[in-house]
């Protein structure tokens, strides 16, 4: 039976994502009605600048008073695409207090306050859906939360930020400069309102926290995630990576410890072999590997940012929440029953690529090798060559290690810096994906 009374939607935010959500809601209205079993109506649009011209949006729907919109009594579902912590947090909480389910794309808020928001949704018997918060258009949250609910996820590794992948890809493939590539990503609508969140790894760390919580059924907050951004990655790093048959990607890596008693969550740039599937992820695309005990390795791939791809994920959630509402049911809530501690980065086992500028004289190689041995770090390969810039009496030494705890690797680098024969550490990068 088709319900004729429409489900009323309040759209909070009408920028890159919100404007595309509104456009698809309008152009696909008939299909959405059929899929949901009731019409959905855009009943109000909250923004910051009411006088801005918004194509396809009836100006009568636009307001700057989002709170009044939520309190007016006829709203069934809220779509929050404002971003940031406040006022988004208060508005979502207000929506729950007024019996309104929420769809949000706000990873920063979910990574910081997800537990409280899930608790509020549960307390009021409402939905909180957030597929768009991680990896743009890619269905990832729901497959991990629902399709893999009967399996045991042990590892998640992937590219979860479109802006930084776009920048790194441009630097690698066209030799573009960092700022030029960032400006292009911003113009294409990929970057956050403050792109520092992208390039310093905060956005990827927020997504990592959300995914770790879902994967390991535990609470992982943004602060638990080890984070390094990509602003230090240089053309020289790409040249080094190329010589090793690698490229550089900003990765999010989440792992359950072998004894199952703890987890790790980290975001940092890493060299990966060109033969690895993540190496061929171009532009603002994202890709995530999920390793589950019974399923084996799954790969999720697709557009990771941008208005239209992200709106696709928001609309998928909207349909699900509308269906739940008509069925007087809710979807699955948070599953965080394990309370596993998040181990520090020092405990993570990884490999380093280290490029040193050293004195070109007898005994230097032995001294460097001894320093690695003293820290229990085994060397995989060493390559020495004269400095390309022709600096006299200096050589460049590139060491790639075997796997070792990160604390031992960073301890080795600190000790190397103190050697008289080491003139400088030109670059350090972790090596993943082998
Ligand atoms: P934009 O900056 O383009 O849009 C933000 C919108 O929120 C604007 O319409 C703005 O109004 C409105 N707004 C800001 N402050 C207020 C306020 N106090 N009250 C009411 N409205 C307000 O952001 P995006 O669309 O890019 O991102 C929105 C959310 O989606 C963020 O959480 C982001 O992380 C997430 N996201 C974004 C993706 C992307 O590719 N862009 C991908 C995945 C998720 P006005 O138009 O008047 O300025
Ligand atoms: N700024 C984000 C990115 C948007 O570039 O990945 C998608 O979450």
For CATH 3.30.70.260, the residue range(s) in the chain are 345-431
Say if ligand 1 is within 6 A of residue 18 CB: yes
- CB burial of 412-433 (b: ≥16 within 10 Å; e: otherwise) equals bbebbeebebbbeebbbbbbbb
Say if ligand 1 is within 6 A of residue 5 CB: no
pLDDT recorded at residue 266: 98
* 8 A C-beta contact, residue 92 and residue 104: yes
| Residue 34 CB partners (closer than 8 Å, separation 6+) | none
pLDDT recorded at residue 388: 58
For the domain 345-431, what is the CATH superfamily, name and number?
ACT domain (3.30.70.260)
Along the chain (434 residues), what's the average pLDDT of each consecutive run of 10 residues?
92 98 98 98 98 96 98 98 98 98 98 98 98 98 98 98 98 94 97 97 98 98 97 92 95 97 98 97 98 98 98 98 98 95 98 95 94 98 75 85 97 97 94 90
Q: Give the distance (Å) from ligand 1 centre to CA of residue 278.
A: 29
Say if ligand 1 is within 6 A of residue 78 CB: no
| Structure tokens, 86 | 């406040």
Residue 418 is a catalytic residue: no
Which residue's CA is the closest to the ligand 1 atom numbered 15? 48
Q: Give the distance (Å) from ligand 1 centre to CA of residue 25.
A: 17
Say if ligand 2 is within 6 A of residue 165 CB: no
pLDDT recorded at residue 71: 98
String of DSSP letters for 163-202: HHHHHHHHHHHT---HHHHHHHHHHTT-S-SSTHHHHTSH
Say if ligand 1 is within 6 A of residue 132 CB: yes
pLDDT recorded at residue 1: 73
Cα separation, 90 vs 65, whole angstroms: 13
pLDDT recorded at residue 434: 74
For CATH 3.30.360.10, the residue range(s) in the chain are 141-304
In Å, how far are 8, 270, 278 from 433, measured between CA atoms? 47, 9, 9
Q: Which ligand is nearest to the CA of 52?
A: 1
Our mutation pick for probing the ligand 1 site, out of 10, 14, 17, counting the most ligand atoms within 8 A of Cβ, is 17
pLDDT recorded at residue 391: 58
What's the CATH class of domain 141-304? alpha beta
| Domain 7-136+308-326, second-level architecture | 3-Layer(aba) Sandwich (3.40)
pLDDT recorded at residue 390: 54
For CATH 3.40.50.720, the residue range(s) in the chain are 7-136+308-326
Of 71, 107, 170, 207, which is the active-site residue? 207
| Structure tokens, 315 | 């609309």
pLDDT recorded at residue 3: 85
Say if ligand 2 is within 6 A of residue 305 CB: yes
- CA torsion angle for 147, 130, 340, 269 (degrees, to 10)? 100
Instruction: Report the atom number in ligand 2 closest to the C-alpha of 197.
Output: 1
pLDDT recorded at residue 206: 98
In sequence order, what E strands does 304-392 have? 349-359, 379-386
């Amino acid at each position: 039976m088709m319900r004729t009374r429409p489900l009323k939607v309040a759209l909070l935010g009408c920028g890159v994502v919100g404007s595309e959500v509104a456009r698809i809601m309008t152009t696909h209205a008939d299909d959405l009605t059929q899929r949901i079993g009731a019409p959905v109506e855009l009943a109000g649009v909250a923004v910051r600048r009411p006088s801005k011209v918004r194509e396809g949006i009836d100006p009568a729907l636009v307001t700057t008073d989002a709170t009044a919109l939520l309190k007016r009594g006829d709203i069934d579902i809220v779509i929050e695409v404002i971003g940031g912590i406040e006022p988004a947090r208060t508005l979502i909480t207000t929506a729950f207090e007024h019996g309104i389910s929420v769809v949000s794309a706000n990873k920063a808020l979910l990574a910081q306050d997800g537990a409280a928001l899930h608790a509020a949704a549960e307390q009021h018997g409402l939905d909180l859906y957030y597929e768009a918060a991680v990896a743009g258009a890619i269905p990832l949250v729901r497959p991990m939360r629902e399709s893999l609910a009967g399996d045991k996820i042990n590892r998640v590794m992937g590219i979860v930020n479109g802006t930084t992948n776009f920048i790194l890809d441009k630097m690698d493939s066209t030799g573009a400069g960092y700022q030029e590539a960032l400006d292009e990503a911003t113009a294409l609508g990929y970057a956050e309102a403050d792109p520092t969140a992208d390039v310093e790894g905060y956005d990827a760390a927020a997504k990592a926290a959300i995914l770790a919580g879902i994967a390991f059924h535990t609470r992982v907050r943004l602060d638990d995630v080890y984070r390094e951004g990509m602003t230090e990655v240089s053309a020289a790093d790409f040249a080094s990576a190329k010589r090793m048959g690698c490229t550089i990607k900003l990765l999010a890596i989440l792992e359950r410890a072998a004894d199952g008693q703890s987890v790790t969550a980290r975001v940092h740039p890493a060299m990966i072999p060109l033969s690895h599937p993540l190496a061929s992820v171009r532009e603002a695309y994202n890709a995530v590997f999920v390793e589950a005990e019974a399923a084996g390795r799954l790969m999720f791939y697709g557009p990771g940012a941008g208005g239209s791809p992200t709106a696709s994920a928001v609309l998928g959630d909207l349909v699900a929440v509308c269906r739940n509402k008509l069925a007087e049911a809710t979807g699955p809530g948070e599953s965080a029953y394990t309370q596993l501690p998040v181990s520090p980065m020092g405990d993570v086992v990884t490999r380093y690529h280290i490029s040193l500028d050293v004195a070109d004289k007898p005994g230097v190689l032995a001294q460097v090798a001894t320093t690695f041995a003293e820290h229990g770090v085994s060397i995989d390969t060493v390559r020495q060559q004269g400095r390309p810039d022709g600096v006299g009496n200096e050589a460049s030494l590139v060491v790639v290690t075997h796997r070792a705890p990160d604390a031992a690797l960073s301890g080795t680098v600190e000790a190397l810096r103190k050697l008289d024969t080491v003139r400088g550490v030109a670059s350090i990068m972790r090596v993943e994906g082998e």
